[in-house]
Structure 1
């Protein structure tokens, strides 16, 4: 049983559960905190809709909007649904840059819907549409999609350099911001850092893909691009996670767990540095080690 924080945050739901200890003591019923799972629909005008199973963590669910000209609108400092929508659109290849988006807005009648307007819907790269994407699903569909997703992608820039000693600090910063995980043990996290090793944003979600898309969106909406940045992940490094990094311009990925063979292949091809098993001051580099300064 995880230590229970009595503060119930957004993204955490209390349920009654039966605990069976290994000591032979009588079972006991208690209030268990679990990660929230909900649906968020991205309605991309003249393209299609995407329903993501996600964890809403922001407390403010009032109407929010974004345009490239005006920036983020509204009082909430964390327009989480908009961040997820922007990150998803870019990392899935619907858009080539955030300037392809005319506007994003949380539907005033239904905060579980984000409306997306593109400047040129006909040019949107659509491998799938009108689908429900569950929390564990990255690329779901025929195997041909795997090959299509690796076509016409740019090589990553080679501007980021990071001392390996900074890995532990970055991991620690991500973990210290995993409040939902600390309460439930049921969420993933992603943290984006810049060339100086400073963490720019951290996001949590029940899905590792959503956590990455959220944090990508946060940084896009605050600074416009991800050039010269890397990402720390609480999960393994799979193909679809690496493709998201390539599309968004992330140069380095640090993960607590292992990469897959296709993830390594794509990272090598498109210039992304993959570092797996980043734990206790150690790491294994699987591609483009020139960005890691060993001192």
Structure 2
């Protein structure tokens, strides 16, 4: 997922030539039933989980059972579905940064969370500390980490230059392994955006946590749909922005 690239470093006193670890970024073209669906700028490897998660969260498929085959050839992934005439919508280019194409957020058409999951602050903070560590991130500083967990274990961890890609990867893993998403939650190293919230809603994941910030639209969307958003989960503290009842003890807060 990374390789060494020569550069000139200034250390405050002088210059030196070094080889620095730089994360890889690849254009990956997705074809569904022979038609170009989108191109994603993403990290290499494990495209199958990403494809299943992406097609599901974009509501192109209802589950992995609708996929006949996935064929990976270098930077091209070809998917054959059980319905070869399935509409895939407008072609997209999904960028690795914040300016990528995202789905339109219409809260009236979004599903609402159906889940009895509750967690403790200690569980959330412990999850953030345990899963959001990465040798690749330490070496390059250039990847996001997203983990899917339940109250007992870490189910899947994905790293990608795009946090949305990483979320699709763990959702795809969960779909391919029969995970009940209503009993899970997501932890992300990056900011929680409205698109991250939308993907969790489609999968019926009731809680999303970040060690960083969230956006106002993410919170507004989550509030209307039953999703719990937790941000700045680090240093023994966290902020609960929506549906605090899912975090044990939050309802007994001191005014």
Structure 1 Cα separation of the partners of residues 166 and 109 of structure 2: 25
Tell me the equivalent position of 1:12.
2
Of residues 42, 53, 67, the one that matches 2:41 is 53
Q: Mark the runs of 5 or more structure 2 residues left unpaired by the alignment.
A: 251-255
Cα offset, 1:125, TM superposition: 6.0
Structure 1 Cα separation of the partners of residues 18 and 104 of structure 2: 45
Tell me the equivalent position of 2:117.
160
Change (3 A) 1:262 1:125: farther
Tell me the equivalent position of 2:140.
184
Correspondence 1:92 to 2:58: yes
Change (3 A) 1:278 1:197: farther
Of residues 181, 188, 197, the one that matches 1:233 is 188
Size of the aligned set, in residue pairs, is 250
Mapped contact 1:17–1:31 kept (Cα < 8 A): yes
Structure 2 Cα separation of the partners of residues 185 and 291 of structure 1: 32
Q: CA RMSD in A?
A: 2.0
Which SS does the other structure have where 2:230 is aligned? strand
> TM-score, normalization: structure 2?
0.90
Of residues 268, 275, 278, the one that matches 2:230 is 275
Correspondence 1:31 to 2:31: no
Deviations 1:194-247 (A, max 9, x none): 1x2421111101111111111111222122552311100001111111001111
Structure 2 Cα separation of the partners of residues 278 and 239 of structure 1: 18
Deviations 1:90-123 (A, max 9, x none): 12222233333233222xxx23222112223545
Q: Mark the runs of 5 or more structure 1 residues left unpaired by the alignment.
A: 1-10, 59-79
